[in-house]
Homo-oligomer: A and B are copies of this chain.
Amino acid sequence: MKKDNISDAVIRRLPRYYRQLTDLQNRGIIRISSHSLGQEMGITASQIRQDFSCFGEFGQQGYGYNVEELKAEIGHILGVDNDHHIILVGVGNLGHALLKNFAFAQNGFTVGAAFDISPAIIGTQINGIPVYSMNELDAYVRQHHVDVVVLTVPQSVAQSTADQLIASGIQGFWNFTNIELASSRPDVKFENIHFADSLLTLSYRISNH
């Protein structure tokens, strides 16, 4: 029942629903109306019903949503239950922080390995994840099915590293380099974390209130 051409705005709300439902579940809430869910999230009930209608029928008119079931449905749409295989390329401060702190498994991702050029960390493990030399990257990607690369390399090598990985068959990039990466291949997806965009949004809000 999934519609085609679901808008970017709807897709970006799905993880927010998932997070909110996880929070409701942790608070022991069994059932919630679209009205209450909207109030918690600062969006309207009709927006929620419209968003969900892109993916089929969730819940029953007048009875609200079962929190656990809805979370499972949205998690399934997001691919949380797919067990994606991810590797991290560039173990600097940020790469290190992500390997140490980010709950990859909770979001359906298994981190297989990390790669760097620094002899000081090649051969070590971070949070149980082995760090290999960049020289081993191509071979690793060819031997393992890798869905996504976390790209935390320096800006100067961001695009060339992405090109190398795309040539090896990688189609998903979680890009922390603050460089707009490009590929002529439409099947390659880039998802960017732009720290500066976020801080400048806050700057606007505190400068203009």
Which chain A residues have a beta carbon within 8 Å of chain B's beta carbons?
2, 9, 11-12, 14-16, 18-19, 23, 77-80, 82, 84, 92-94, 96-98, 100-104, 106-109, 147-148, 171-174, 180, 187, 189, 191-209
Cα–Cα, bound, A155→B200 (Å): 24
Contacts of A147 in B (CB 8 A): 206
A153, B104: Cα distance in complex, Å: 19
Bound complex: CA of A194 vs CA of B148, how far in Å? 18
Given the interface pairs A77-B204, A189-B205, A207-B78, the reply to whether A199 lies near B174 with Cβ below 8 Å is yes
Is there contact, CB below 8 Å, between B108 and A203? Answer: yes
- Chain B residues whose C-beta falls within 8 Å of the C-beta of A109 in the assembled complex: 199, 203
Copies in the complex: 2
A194 near B19: Cβ-Cβ < 8 Å: yes
Interface of chain A: mostly helix, strand, loop or mixed: helix
Given contacts A94-B101, A97-B96, A196-B19, contact A189 B203 (CB under 8 A): no
Query: Which chain B residues border A208 with CB–CB below 8 Å?
Result: 2, 77, 79
* Assembled-state Cα–Cα distance A103/B108 (Å): 31
- CA A28 to CA B150, docked complex, whole Å: 31
Contact among B11, B12, B198, B207 for A79, CB-based, below 8 A: B207
C-alpha gap A4/B126 in the complex (Å): 49
* Cross-chain contact B148 with A201 (CB below 8 angstroms): no
Question: How distant is A43 from chain B, measured CB to nearest CB, in Å?
Answer: 11
CA A101 to CA B172, docked complex, whole Å: 24
Q: Are A107 and B199 in contact (CB under 8 A)?
A: yes
